[in-house]
Structure 1
């Protein structure tokens, strides 16, 4: 992998980390914590990573709280 490709891969991963952090902060503001919120390791592998934010698993109660928070914020 060349330097340009490495730079692009690094930028993609940093962008995914920022998106994850933005989501974590927004959820925290709604009183919600997703313990498994992270970057998907498999999507980071290879020469040309396609980073994905992994939301993880949650209880049915938490799923309902997220749904309610989204409904409140929907236009």
Structure 2
């Protein structure tokens, strides 16, 4: 593909530090990292720990605003990992 045939780049929204959406994403990333460290310390490793946000919300045809929250996605795991996670939770709840 020649430079003339390339599609124009879509404009990117640059998050600002004071942007509430950025703060929510940073909060979710910190929570994900904290959970991963705690699980690792307990000998449990989930194959996927990710941060996800919903689609941007739209206010009309051309305007959109970022999602107001972010979620820590735990992904899927094997049965042995699920049992190990359950054991760690039970141990913590009993202590």
Q: TM-score range by the shorter chain?
A: 0.7 to 0.9
SS in structure 2 of the partner of residue 12 of structure 1: helix
* 4+ residue segments displaced more than 3 Å: none
Consecutive unaligned residues of structure 1, counting only runs of 5 or more, are none
Bigger proportion of residues as strand: 2
Residues in 2 aligned to 1:33 and 1:54: alpha-carbon distance in whole angstroms: 14
Which structure is higher in RCO with an 8 Å CA cutoff and minimum separation 6? 1
2:81 matched to 1:69?
no
46, 51, 55: which one aligns with 2:74: 55
What is the TM-score of this pair, normalised by structure 2?
Answer: 0.66
What is the TM-score of this pair, normalised by structure 1?
Answer: 0.83
**Alignment-derived partner of residue 27 in structure 2:** 15
How much is the aligned-residue C-alpha RMSD, in angstroms? 2.1
Residues in 2 aligned to 1:23 and 1:44: alpha-carbon distance in whole angstroms: 21
1:13–1:44 CA contact under 8 A, matched in 2: no
Bigger proportion of residues as helix: 1
**Residue 35 of structure 1: CA displacement?**
1.6
